[in-house]
Amino acid sequence: MNMELSRRAFLLTAGAGVAGTALGAFGFGDVEAAYAAAIRPFKLVNTTETRNTCTYCSVACGIILYSKGDLRKGETAEITYIEGDSDHPTNRGTLCPKGAALLSIVKSKTRLTYPMVRRPGSDRFERISWDEALDKIVRVLKDDRDKNFIALNEAGVTVNRWVTSGILAASATTNETAFATYKVMRSTGMLAFDNQARV
């Protein structure tokens, strides 16, 4: 970190500002600069705190995300630290070895960043645009539905089902994602529709 930045961070904090001024007043100008350069800025001073819950198990421990930048102000935000929420009645601030390492799953090297396609028989993924990916998916789904949709069963009863395509819904997503998924998928008549409750 360059000195400029360190010094700015150093002086921004009220206590450090006073200390800086005091040192300056005693005529230790150079010392002050050196001292400022030596101190790492306290990361959490200028972060935004956000309440969230651990993504793993259903103990659902409360956590606090610390970010550089504030999404609520329309800024981009980078999460720099995650800790247990000590006001949370269940975990009271504690986290297990999974919750304690949440930051490195947010920043995992294997996070996905772009839509990709692996073409039939190919040995690699290639980048593809969102539009192209979504159009491809919807084309296959519609063609299959149009071909295999069962409106009436053999007895002539209206059954309106589609059983040749399916979806597995996530189980760490929100209720709200679940409901959107339910509406979109069930309205097609899809039956092979399941979640992770069993495994």
Partner 1 sequence: MTNSWTDIRNTDLVVIMGGNAAEAHPCGFKWVTEAKANRGAKLIVVDPRFNRSASVADFYAPIRQGTDIAFLLGLINYCMLNDKVQWDYVKTFTNASFLVKEGFTYRDGLFTGYDEQKRDYDRATWEYEIGPDGYAAVDETLQHPRSVWTLLKQHVAMYTPELVERICGTPRDKFLAVAQMVSECSSPTKTMTSMYALGWTQHSKGSQNIRTMAMLQLILGNIGVRGGGMNALRGHSNIQGLTDVGLLSNSLPGYMNLATDREPDLAAYMSTRGFRPLRPNQTSYWQNYRKFLVSFLKSMWGPAATAQNDFGFDWLPKLDVPNYDILRAFELMKQGKMTAYLCQGFNPLQAFPNKAKLVEGLSKLKLLVVMDPLETETARFWENHGIYNDVDTAAIQTEVIQLPTTCFAEDEGALVNSGRWLQWHWPGGTPPGEAQPDTWIMAQIHLRLKALYRTEGGAFPDPILNLHWPYKDPGLPTPEELTKEMNGYIVADVPDPADPAKKLLEAGKQVANFGQLRDDGSTACGCWIFAGSFTEAGNMMARRDNADPDDTGAYPNWSFSWPANRRILYNRASADINGKPWDPSRKLLEWDGQRWTGYDVPDIAPNAKPRDVGPFIMNAEGVGRLFARGMMRDGPFPVHYEPFESPVANVIAPKVRGNPVARVFADDFAQFADVASPEFPYAATSYRLTEHFHYWTKNNHVNAVLQPEFFVEISEELAKEKGVAKGGWVRVWSKRGSVFAKAVVTKRIKPMICDGKTIHIVGIPIHWGFVGAAKKGFPANVLTPFVGDANIETPEFKAFLVNLEASTGPASV
Q: Identify which of residues 36 and 54 has a Cβ nearer to partner 1 in the complex.
A: 54
Whole-angstrom Cα Rg for the chain: 27
**Applying CB under 6 A, does 101 fall inside the site for ligand SF4?**
no
Q: Identify which of residues 42 and 182 has a Cβ nearer to partner 1 in the complex.
A: 182
Q: Which residues within the stretch 133-192 sit at the binding site for ligand SF4 (CB under 6 A)? A: none
Q: Which residues within the stretch 102-121 sit at the binding site for partner 1 (CB under 8 A)? A: 102, 104-106, 108-121
Cβ atoms 56, 99 nearer than 8 A: yes
Q: Write the DSSP symbol of residue 104.
A: H
What is d(CA 139, CA 96) in angstroms, rounded to the nearest whole number? Answer: 44
Q: Which residues within the stretch 64-93 sit at the binding site for ligand SF4 (CB under 6 A)? A: 91
Q: With contacts defined by CB under 6 A, name the span among 25-33, 53-61, 152-160, 182-190 that binds ligand SF4.
A: 53-61
What is d(CA 9, CA 11) in angstroms, rounded to the nearest whole number? Answer: 6
Q: With contacts defined by CB under 6 A, name the span among 52-60, 65-73, 144-152, 159-167 that binds ligand SF4.
A: 52-60
Q: With contacts defined by CB under 6 A, name the span among 12-20, 95-103, 151-159, 163-171 that binds ligand SF4.
A: 95-103
**Applying CB under 6 A, does 59 fall inside the site for ligand SF4?**
yes
Contacts of 38 (CB under 8 A, 6+ apart): none
How far CA 118 is from CA of 121, 166, 197, in Å, comes to 8, 20, 29
Per DSSP, the three-state class of 46 is: helix
Contact positions vs ligand SF4 (CB under 6 A): 54, 56-57, 59-61, 91, 95-96, 98-99
